[in-house]
């Protein structure tokens, strides 16, 4: 696989090309004049002859633009290259933020980078993933969480930790915590820089046993924000993160049981609406409209 810098260079060329294609056949070019046999005014259709480092495409696009709105761009990832690319073009970032401090740092950094690219800091939204294991009691939620991850492939997780941090825990004593001092000075070139840096950050901040480490979101998932508890617990965390300015929303992933999903939809979402943290109704018909209405 190409390294991250090359992948984002290709993504930048791809994004510029897609914008050219979207703009090549404006909706206003449509005439649909059946009497004269004219479907579109071809003088308004712009050719695209792109020959770049990574892509070679001849346009224009063969269908007209959707009228009256734009198509938002969503980017996933929070490495250095990913942040800068997102700040230059994205409307929304979907990124792992395992704790509020990580979300605050990312939100501020994206805003600063957006301004360096000539955009408003508010032009880019942060919607982290939110992994939810909900139940009527915290004990029940914890049981659902443990049942979900009880059959995890331990060897595979340890191999993943080694690939991301360079730390080999295969023969690590169960009662010995993993600490900052155990991390190799130079991190390996992992396939996901974002995930690797968040896992190293966790080990640098906390001393955990292997069993504790293997249950943290930086290991069991893509390092997303995680709530294991009741609807009240989830509501309080979401309200706190929102009041702190750490997020512009979230992308929910209720897991573990059907009941967890039902609690999210039937109890948590109405609480968020009542508190003014989610809309009561839809004022438009496109995603772009509801993204922009927060301005």
Nearest residue to 203 via CA among 232, 180, 177: 180
For the record, the structure tokens of 166 come out as 């360079």
**pLDDT score recorded for residue 121:** 93
Q: What kind and span of H or E run contains 86?
A: helix 80-89
- Which pLDDT belongs to residue 17? 96
The domain limits of the chain are: 4-58, 74-135+225-292, 154-213
Give the H/E segment covering residue 92: strand 92-94
Task: Report residue 62 as tokens.
Answer: 């063969």
Q: Convert the pLDDT of each residue in 50-68 to its tens digit.
A: 999 999 999 899 999 999 8
Q: How confident is the model at residue 97 (pLDDT cuts 50, 70, 90)?
A: very high
Place of tokens 């009542």: 274
Model confidence band, residue 155 (pLDDT cutoffs 50, 70, 90): confident
Rounded Cα–Cα distance for residues 224 and 230 (Å): 18
Residues near 134 by Cβ (< 8 Å), separated by ≥ 6?
Answer: 141, 227, 229, 230, 231, 234, 254, 259, 260, 263, 264, 268
Phi, then psi, of 229 in degrees rounded to 5: 175, -150
Write down the pLDDT at residue 185. 80
Maximum mean pLDDT: which of 172-186, 249-263, 281-295: 249-263
**Strand pairing report for 225-229 and 129-134:** parallel
Query: Residue 76: beta bridge partners?
Result: 94
Backbone angles phi, psi at 126, to 5 degrees: -110, 115
**Half-sphere exposure at residue 213, Cβ-oriented, CA atoms within 13 angstroms:** 28
Q: What is the CATH number of domain 74-135+225-292?
A: 3.20.20.30
The b-or-e profile of 191-210 (16+ CB within 10 A means b, else e) is ebbbbbbbbbbbbeeeebeb
Which tokens is 230 given?
């009741």
Confidence at residue 294, expressed as pLDDT on a 0 to 100 scale = 64
Q: What pLDDT, in 10s, does the model give residues 108-133?
A: 999 999 999 999 999 999 999 999 99
């Amino acid at each position: 696989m190409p390294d991250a810098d090359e992948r984002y260079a290709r993504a930048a060329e791809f994004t510029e090309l897609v914008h050219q294609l979207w703009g090549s056949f404006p909706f206003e070019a449509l005439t649909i004049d059946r009497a004269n046999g004219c479907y579109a005014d071809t003088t308004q259709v712009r050719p695209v002859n792109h020959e770049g480092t990574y892509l070679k495409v001849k346009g224009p696009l063969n269908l007209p633009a959707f009228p009256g709105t734009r198509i938002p761009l969503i980017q996933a990832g929070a490495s250095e290259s990913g942040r800068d690319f997102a700040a230059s073009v994205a409307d929304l970032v979907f990124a792992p933020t395992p704790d509020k401090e990580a979300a605050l740092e990312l939100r501020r950094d994206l805003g600063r980078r957006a301004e360096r690219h000539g955009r408003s800091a508010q032009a880019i939204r942060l919607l982290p993933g939110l992994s939810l294991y909900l139940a009527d009691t915290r004990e029940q939620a914890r049981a659902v969480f443990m049942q979900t991850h009880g059959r995890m492939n331990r060897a595979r997780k340890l191999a993943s930790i080694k690939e991301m941090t360079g730390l080999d825990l295969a023969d690590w004593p169960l009662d010995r915590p993993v600490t900052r001092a155990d991390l190799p000075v130079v991190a390996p070139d992992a396939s996901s820089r974002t995930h690797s840096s968040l896992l190293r950050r966790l080990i640098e901040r906390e001393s955990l046993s292997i069993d504790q480490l293997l249950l943290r979101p930086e290991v069991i998932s893509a390092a997303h924000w995680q709530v294991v508890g009741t609807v009240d617990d989830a509501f309080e965390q979401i309200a706190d993160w929102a009041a702190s300015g750490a997020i512009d929303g979230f992308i929910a992933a209720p897991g573990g049981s059907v009941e967890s999903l039902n609690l999210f939809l039937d109890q948590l979402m109405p609480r968020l609406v009542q508190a003014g943290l989610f809309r009561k109704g839809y004022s438009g018909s496109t995603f772009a409209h509801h993204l922009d209405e927060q301005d």
